[in-house]
Each structure stands twice: as structure tokens, then as C-alpha cells.
Amino acid sequence: MNLNKNLKNLYNYIIIFLFTSFVFLSFLKFEYFQFRYLVLFLLFPCIIFLFRDLKNKNYKFIKYFLFFLLFFTIHLLINFNLDNEKIDLYNIFSLFYLLAILLIAYYFINIFNENINNIIYLFIAIFLCSSIISFFNFQSDNAYFCGGIPDIFDLVKDKNENIIKPHYALKLSFKEYIFYENSHLGMVAPSAIAFMIYHINKKELAFNKKILILVFLIICYIKSSTTLFLGTTLSLLILLAFNYKEFSKKIKSIFILIILFSTSILTFSDECRSRFITIDPVIIHSEKNYVLTEDQSLKEYMIKKIFNSKKNLIKKEDISIFQKFINKVEDQFELSQSEYENLTKAVHYYALSIFKSSVFERPFGWGINRYNKAYEYFDNKHARLHTIKKLNNMDGTNNFIKIFVEFGIFGSFFYILIFLFITEKKIPIELKLFYFPILLTQSIRGAGYFNGGFILIAFLMLFTYINLKKKI
């Protein structure tokens, strides 16, 4: 009896870990192995469940499966035909992956919904362990990010005022192992923040768990990003607007304070404002008449301009980190052709231009995971932004653009579903607090719908809504 109970507990722990890997650890990888693929192990019990349903003549899931299979397959084949291309194995794998997640979401929806808190606690525990290890093995984070607490350090100079090396006075913002960018944390953290703040008010919650949550929140805001602030603010604001009566006065007050705090950071922080209206402090524009010579690299030019400039165009930063960044973008950024002062802004602008063009030229979309085809087509057609070639050419910078470019007007049904979901009073508020911030945040800034748990949450939302309507 105890053995069966222990095996069942182990089974549940494994499921929780696999879901945690897909939602919160999807950016983590070793060599070519990505943690998000671990969730595919759940296909084995799903196949058993499917055969059991077929044996019992329960064909409910088959209907859903056939619908999505036919829609995505036909849609993909039509687009291959329009472009006179052969079937791509990458797109076939994408279709298989999507259907696999559909199968997992259907059969594990109850286990997932009942263990959201455990999934978040496991993520927080892993994240804090990563943070502790990273902090003691300190590597400075990007000196320029929205909000948060950057490193405080002095720059050591020689007698000629040339910078030799940075000397750290206080180490705060650090790199860790789970997320490679602060924005990656920002894509998933709003859901954990919203859900945990709602639960931290419960009297039965253990003191150690409350401390765990508070430490997590502190680190999130140390390692903040525009994505984190914007996603959290809009998610809480919309959820409060449509579900105001569902929250206690205390929770309402906390949510409003977070909204006001995040809004103030976005408004008054130079780094935050630069993402919307001004210059990114790292990418410095040149004089309009300046053209790179054949023997001068972008890196050499920018270092010369920044560190020898009489104008204080850039704040003090870790030189090594700066050079690594420049090395990364050097091959992707042609300064003499640039029409934009802000690389981030330019990337988003180009993605938006692809979205607008696709609406008119391909209103039914390009097919699953074929945003790169739209990117290449419009880049070759208009030849406007070779300065950012290959940047975000797969994910479209956010899932809203990616979905509408790839599926055209069909993408509107997905966002109608989201609206119906958050406005449905009979859906538990805990599910809304976890589902909605992920979907909204990654619709603002995402890395594709197969990252950050987006596609899983989307299917879980769908089946939650369908099951509720059938009960009514």
C-alpha cells in the first residue's frame, strides 16, 4: 500500500518537474539539448490514456485532435504550394510538437491546474539556487536594463584619464544560469508574481514559503526588464478591471501598489524610456556624415566614439561586457546604413512592418513556424532594414506578431478566446492569475510560442474554457 502511494507521489513529482521545465526552464539548455523538450516524456502515459479512451469508445479528444491536425496541416500545405516550396522537415516537426502539447494539455489538465503552486515553488527554488551560485560566481549583468538595481562600481583610470578596468564597489545585478537575458525572466515571472502575491495572503501558507516568495520578488526587481514591468502592470490592471470583486481589499491594494511602482519605473527610468522613445544607451548613433572605412570595424569605431567622446553619451560600464556585446552584434549591424538610433526599437519596428504587410498580402498567414519566410520575403521585397538582418527573424519579437503573421485572421480567434477566458466569472481566479500574464506578456515580448510555456498554457486555457461551458 505504501509502495503504491510512494510510486504515485513520485509520478506526480516527475510530472510537476516536467511542467516546470516547459514553462519556466524552456530557455535553459546544455549544448543542443533544451529543457523544454523534457515535457515530451508525458507522451507515453498520454498514448496509454488515448488507447483506453478508444477502447471505451470515448472519442472526445479525437475530435479535437483531428480538428487541429486538419487545420494546421491544410493551412501549411496551402502555404507551401503558394510559395512553390517542398515540405520542410522543420515545419513538420513543429506541427508534431504542437499536437504533442495538445495531447499533453488534454490529459494532464487536472494535474496541472491542481499543482500550479507546486510548479511555481519548484521554479522559485531552482531559480534561487541558480541565483545563489551565480552571485558567488559573480559575472556582471548588462549595465543597461529597464529598472532594477544595477552594479555600483568605479572605473580605474590612468594618468591620462584612460579607462583601465572597472573596480566593483557593490555587486548586485548578476548573470545566472536559467535565463540568458533579463527579458527571458520577464516573460514568465509576471505569472509567478501575480499567483504568489494572491496566495501569500493566505493564513495557512507556511512562513518559510512566504520568505521564499519575498526573496524571489526582490531578485526579480533587481534583475528587472521592460518585459517584466510592462507584463506585470498590464496583466494586473486588466485582471483587476474584469475581476475586481474576486479580490480582497488587501490584494487589491498590493496589486495597485505594484502597478503604480512598475508604471513609475517605466515612466521615469532613462533605460526604460529608451526602449520606447529615445536612444538605447549601448547603441550610440554616429554623426550623419560618418561612414565606416573598409579597415575599421564597428567595434573599434564604437569604442573610440564612446570612451573618447567629450559628450557623455554612455554611462560607465564594465568594458569587457560591452566588448562582448559589440562582438555579438558586429556582424548584424551595418552602421552606415542605419536609419535608427535604437537597435531594439528598430527590430520591433521591422517586425511591426512585417505584420502590417502580411495583413494585406497574406491575410490567411504563412503557416506554422514560418515567420522566417515572411521575414525573408519582405526584406528582399522592400530592402529597408538590412541593419538588423537575422535579428528575431524566427520569433517576430513577440507572439502577437508571430501568430498573426503565421495564421493571419485565424489568430484573432485565439485572442477572442483569451478575452472570453478572463471575463468568465466561473473560471477560478487562480487560473486567470497564472494563465493570463504568460499569454499577455509573451504577446508583448516573446520568443516564439514553443518557449516560455506559451502553447501549453494556450491549450490548457482552451480546454478549461470548453470543460466549463459543458458543465453549464
Instruction: Specify whether the CB–CB gap between 435 and 230 falls below 8 A.
Output: no
| Pair 312, 193 in one domain | no
Q: Are residues 262 and 304 in the same domain?
A: no
Question: What cell was used for 360?
Answer: 494585406
Considering its fold, how many domains does the chain have in total?
A: 2
Which residue from 360, 377, 368 is spatially nearest to 84, judged by alpha carbons? Answer: 377
> Do residues 262 and 292 both lie within one domain?
no
User: Same domain, yes or no, for 228 and 331?
Assistant: no
Q: Which residues pair with 163 in a beta bridge?
A: 157
Same domain, 218 and 159: yes
Domain boundary among 337, 352, 378: 337
Beta-bridge partners for 391: none
Are residue 201 and residue 300 in the same domain, yes or no? no
The Cα-based distances of 314 to 21, 281, 290, 303, 383 in angstroms read 38, 6, 19, 11, 31
Residues 6+ apart with CB under 8 A from 91: 76, 367, 368, 369, 370
Q: Are 100 and 133 in contact (CB under 8 A)?
A: no
How many whole angstroms separate alpha carbon 198 and alpha carbon 213? 11
Give residue 142's pLDDT: 60
Same domain flag for 232 and 333: no
Q: The whole model's pTM is what?
A: 0.80
> Which of 337, 359, 377 represents a domain boundary (last residue)?
337
161, 212: one domain? yes
In a domain, 457, yes or no: no
Provide the 3-class DSSP secondary structure of residue 392: coil
Inside any domain, residue 103:
no
Closest CA to 208 of 121, 140, 98: 121
Whether residues 142 and 254 fall in one domain: yes
User: Which domain range does residue 257 map to?
Assistant: 124-266
Residue at grid coordinates 554616429: 286
In angstroms, rounded to a whole number, what is the distance separating the alpha carbons of residues 116 and 213? Answer: 14
Do residues 284 and 338 touch, judged by C-beta distance below 8 A? no
Backbone angle region of 203, left / alpha / beta, with phi > 0 → left and psi within -120 to 50 → alpha: alpha
Divide the 472 residues of the chain into consecutive groups of 10 and give the mean pLDDT of each group: 74 92 88 85 93 89 93 92 84 92 95 94 90 74 60 53 52 71 88 90 76 87 84 94 90 92 80 56 36 44 48 46 49 38 64 84 89 80 53 76 92 95 93 96 89 94 89 61
Note every long-range contact of 251-255, with CB atoms under 8 Å and residues 24 or more positions apart, other chains counting.
251/197, 251/198, 251/201, 254/197, 254/201, 255/197
DSSP bridge partners of 165: 156
Residue 161 shares a structural domain with residue 290: no
Half-sphere exposure of 466 (CA within 13 A, CB side): 12
